[in-house]
Chains A and B, each alone.
Chain A
Amino acid sequence: MFEIFGIPSQALFGQLLIGLINGSFYALLSLGLAVIFGMLNIINFTHGAQYMMGAFVAYLLLQHIGANYWWALILAPIAVGLTGIVMERLFLQHLYKLDHLYGLLLTFGIALIIEGVFRNYYGSSGQPYQVPALLQGGRNLGFMFLPNYRAWVIVFSLVVCISTWFVIERTRLGSYLRAATENPALVRAFGINVPRMITLTYGFGVGLAALAGVMAAPIYNVSPLMGSDLIVVVFAVVVIGGMGSIMGAIVTGFALGVIEGLTKVFFPEASNTVIFVIMAIVLLIRPSGLFGRAA
């Protein structure tokens, strides 16, 4: 066994893998944000709250109608996505023509309200949610013990990320979407219902947040604060990747998970600031982000 900077290589492989797993949450969340920003030009600060709602819907489904994790994986994104659609119709659609700041303030305010309501009913220390029976336990990889659930998280989120990228960048539907953001009037002239498409896109982005929430429920506590803890980091990921860039969000999400994981080994005290240091450096060198196009 060899050593890297005084850390046994086996331990380091373990940390890399864990970094990738955490990165998959960053990727899923920043993907939703990137889709929403790219298509709607809205900086969706409610994203963290919607992620939290996803986890809570999973918890409530289990508590009240006994629907297990797998049902939650399907139902929670739909339910939370629907609330997103209502929110878009009621509020957001009036903001597209205004400055980004209005959307940011509105979504931030809504996030605070949602979190406040959940905190009022469920307290701040959270609710238990067990790992589904099928994915309990784990396997010894030689260099680390990998819980089955974490393996599932990484595989599933990769699949979701890549299919989302594929739909938006490589299919006809995706090309309509991209065209609609570039020039809505022209796309409408071809007989496509642009407002409805935008609404559904927001619903989809919100659904992605809720999906990440369901996946997080068995690992982290289902707590009203889980979203606000994460959202700031995820925004940093999106800024580093380049606002609105789908591939940028995915790659940066995974990469920053790994970097954060390594920081936890070499300088654990700095593990929650390292991402912001990177963000500052990227903004200095490439203000439009690593994958963003210069405005």
Chain B
Amino acid sequence: MRRLFAIAAVGLAALVALFAAGTAHAQYTDGVIRIGVLNDMSGLYADLGGQGSVFAARQAVEDFGAAQKGMKVEVVGADHQNKPDVGSSIARSWIDRDKVDVIVDIPNSGVALAVNEVVREKNKVFLASGPASSDLTGAKCSPNTVHWTYDTWALANGTGKAIVRSGGTTWFFLTADYAFGHALERDTSAVVEANGGKVVGKVRHPLNTNDFSSFLLQAQSSKAKIIGLANAGGDTINSIKQAAEFGIVKGGQNLAGLLVFITDVNSLGLQTAQGLIMTEAWYWDMTDDNRAFARKFSAALGGHYPTMVQAGVYASVLHYLKAVEALKSDADGKAVVDKMKELPTDDPLFGKGTIRADGRKIHDMYLFEVKKPEESKHPWDYYQLRATIPAAEAFRPLKDGGCPLVGG
């Protein structure tokens, strides 16, 4: 008898659940909002995005309270291996077969630019937190894309300007030879020249280079005051480490890490990284909300702390869910992005902000200096704030980007 009752209860519960699901999810395509986190899960950019970004997306879904609101949200992750062809074929099969509605993250501008086109063609949504190339909101801008965290223009504007103004007037670039490196070099050169500096040379190295000594020697013989590192991840780590070995800084030249993540600083150690100046959009030890997020993150990811890219994944997913909720639909990607632009952004990690017509998310950027080993009081206590770049000045003016979406 008791068993019969139990079966009946379970059956009833299932029926209720089914009914509830039927009413609450009717407005979303196939009843589920699927978020695909696409990034480098195994290579040189895995620590700055990777599983940490998947965690950040899940955390955003949880904090949004999707379950309580009756929205069924799933987060999936995949490894693009830093190959544009792999990335765009994952994006296609996600959208066509697995009914993914929004693709998030994508560090590596080469892959991001490829997926940008796929998402536009399929009318889904791309929340770009990982990639740097400012082309995503410039010539290649798309009505389906929001570029959240940072871009090459903002990095150049922050770090480049600060360094030229403090006397670093001649530059030599060490550039990663793909879309991102080229964009960062171009944007930084423009800032250097606009502020009265001069670019005396450059060398382009393949992505994922082990030994930079040959390039550093070329930089050394250029006699430039500043060696600008237009690369990222493992490439930046090895350049900085080997520059120390070759006595570049002792010889009177200085390094400018144009894109340095906190995971890079952790991996270099403060002994080598101290004094480095960089521009970032987010640092964990700035507000209580940031610290709370970092603690959760660190507990879930074996002691690692979040990068600005992972924070950007969290914030952009949260804002996306708000827009979908307001629209009551995730079917039309362009409409969702229009809604995201219309709603002011407000989240625990980036505070209040806006998204411009070209898809650029606008917020403050920060100029940090890496602490000396003796100034660091606890694990991952790495940055000293040098300056806050106000939102209005932090990003490329709307009219200069050449984005076709910007009217007039």
Contacts and interface: CB of A to CB of B under 8 A. Distances in A.
The answer on A and B forming one complex is yes
Interface of A: 8, 11, 14-15, 18-19, 21-22, 119, 121, 123-128, 130-131, 137-138, 144-145, 147, 149-150, 218-221, 223, 225-226, 229-230, 261, 264-265, 268-269, 271-273
B208 A229 contact: yes
A119 B51 CA distance: 12
Given A125-B234, A225-B234, A15 B214 contact: yes
Contacts of B263: 123, 125
B110 interface: no
A230 B209 CA distance: 10
A223 B211 contact: no
Contact of B203 (A8, A126, A261, A268): A268
A144 B271 contact: no
Nearest to A120: B302
B206 interface: yes
B234 A223 contact: yes
B44 interface: yes
Interface centre among A128, A147, A223 (most CB of B within 10 A): A128
16 contacts: A15-B214, A15-B217, A123-B267, A128-B268, A145-B247, A220-B210, A220-B238, A221-B268, A223-B267, A225-B234, A230-B210, A264-B203, A268-B215, A269-B204, A271-B214, A272-B209
B237 A125 contact: yes
Contact of B234 (A138, A221, A230): A221
B93 interface: no
B245 A147 contact: yes
Contacts of B89: none
B246 A219 contact: no
A229 B233 CA distance: 14
A128 B269 contact: yes
B214 A225 contact: no
Interface residues of B, number: 44
A3 B246 CA distance: 24
B217 A138 contact: no
A271 B50 contact: no
Interface string B266-280: 111101100000000
B58 interface: no
A11 B247 contact: no
Given A15-B217, A125-B47, A269-B206, A22 B245 contact: no
B264 A125 contact: yes
Given A15-B214, A138-B247, A219-B242, A125 B44 contact: yes
B298 interface: no
B46 A11 contact: no
Nearest to B217: A14
A126 B42 contact: no
Contact of A22 (B208, B211, B304): B211
Contacts of B247: 137-138, 145, 147
Interface centre among B45, B204, B211, B302 (most CB of A within 10 A): B211
A45 B221 CA distance: 39
A207 to B, nearest CB: 22
B218 A127 contact: no
Interface string B225-266: 000000001100110011001110001000000000001101
B237 A271 contact: no
B213 interface: yes
B43 interface: yes
B205 interface: yes
Contacts of A8: 221
Contacts of B47: 123-125
Nearest to A123: B47
Given A126-B234, A138-B245, A219-B211, 9 more contacts: A121-B302, A123-B47, A124-B44, A124-B234, A125-B48, A125-B237, A225-B43, A230-B210, A272-B206
